[in-house]
Amino acid sequence: MGVNLDKPHRWKDDIAASVDLYNNWFLRFAPKTYREKREKATADVEAMLKRTKFLKDLSAEELRSNPSILSALRMCTAPPIARDRLVGLCGISKNLVNNMELKYRLPPRMSESELEEELSKVANMIIRLLDTDIFPWLKEGRIPTSEEAYRAATIVADRLCGANTDPIIRNAQEKRQLRKIKRWLESRGFKDMTGRTSFEKLGSGEFAFRLNVPGLMEDGKPVNIPVDVVVMPKEAEHGELPLLIEAKSAGDFTNTNKRRKEEATKVGQLRRKLGQGVRYVLFLCGYFDSGYLGYEAAEGIDWVWEHRIDDLGEFGL
């Protein structure tokens, strides 16, 4: 019998409460971080607009001289283009795009002729898809006013900041979730053994963060799986497996459904090594809809909502 996976009649209310909890936290934490990132991004986009004569002179040479502008240029189109979408539309090397956006350089081993061809394809595709609602001067054949250029830069920066701030938001949210779990466990007499134990040596009434847990891949190769929280119940019998808890948060429904197979993969690896008795639980806060929950339930993965953290007690803690 499950704690939440087998109670779909509660899912709707829990989803709403979880979204509210995440949004309330986000509104307290995110504005300052977002403003700082947007200010820097706006300045970067303004510089890019001036160098390209406000996008009238976007060329392969500009991309060659300033590879890092590609991420901003992807946000200048209607709709904004994801990296993989740009690769597919242009028929270019993913290695080129990754080098330009992640390492701020051109691929060192790409030939000059290939580089020129692919950069030209990128420039032409960006020009073809430019969002003229953001850049009205392009269709009107004129130079933008300073106010128009600044406004366009802030819009592009807003789009760009979504990608820039997401990792910061996720990391801060995860730390907050883990602190909450720690307080809950310690208030019930559990001892934090982080950095002083291993998965195999964890004793009754102990817990640890970020432990490596042994698993097996489909081909039989061993793999270490980092788990956010590993807890051994106080009344654990000899040979009993600890409870494995993975903290998960999400600021929108789309990304959770893209990532929902990750947990199923981990559980499969754990079960191949440790047996079907593995208890792997998700600690959820944010946007997790019924599609995501149904998928995890079908894989035998249960969860605890952050807004109802006392459900951890139903797992024997």
Q: What residues of the chain score a pLDDT lower than 50? A: none
- Amino acid 55: pLDDT: 92
- Amino acid 165: pLDDT: 64
- Amino acid 163: pLDDT: 60
Q: Where among 120, 149, 165 does a domain terminate?
A: 165
- Amino acid 161: pLDDT: 78
CA angle 102, 108, 110 (to 5 degrees): 105
- Amino acid 37: pLDDT: 76
- Amino acid 164: pLDDT: 60
Q: Please state the pTM of the whole predicted model.
A: 0.64
Q: How far apart are CA 281 and CA 51, in angstroms?
A: 51
Give the residue carrying structure tokens 């459900």: 311
Residue 211 and residue 302 in one domain = yes
- Amino acid 92: pLDDT: 93
Q: Where among 126, 145, 165 does a domain terminate?
A: 165
- Amino acid 172: pLDDT: 81
- Amino acid 197: pLDDT: 87
- Note the pLDDT tens digit of each residue in 162-219: 666 677 777 788 889 999 999 999 999 999 999 888 888 899 999 999 999 999 888 8
- Amino acid 240: pLDDT: 87
Q: Burial code of 165-197, b = ≥16 C-beta within 10 A, e = fewer?
A: beeebbebbbebbbeebbebbeeeebeebeeeb
User: Cα dist. 153→44, 74, 141 in Å?
Assistant: 8, 13, 19
Residue 106 and residue 55 in one domain = yes
Residue 178 and residue 310 in one domain = yes
Q: Where among 165, 180, 209 does a domain terminate?
A: 165
Among candidate residues 89, 57, 64, the one with its CA nearest the CA of residue 74: 89
Domain that includes residue 182, residue range: 8-26+169-315
Domain annotation covers residue 1 = no
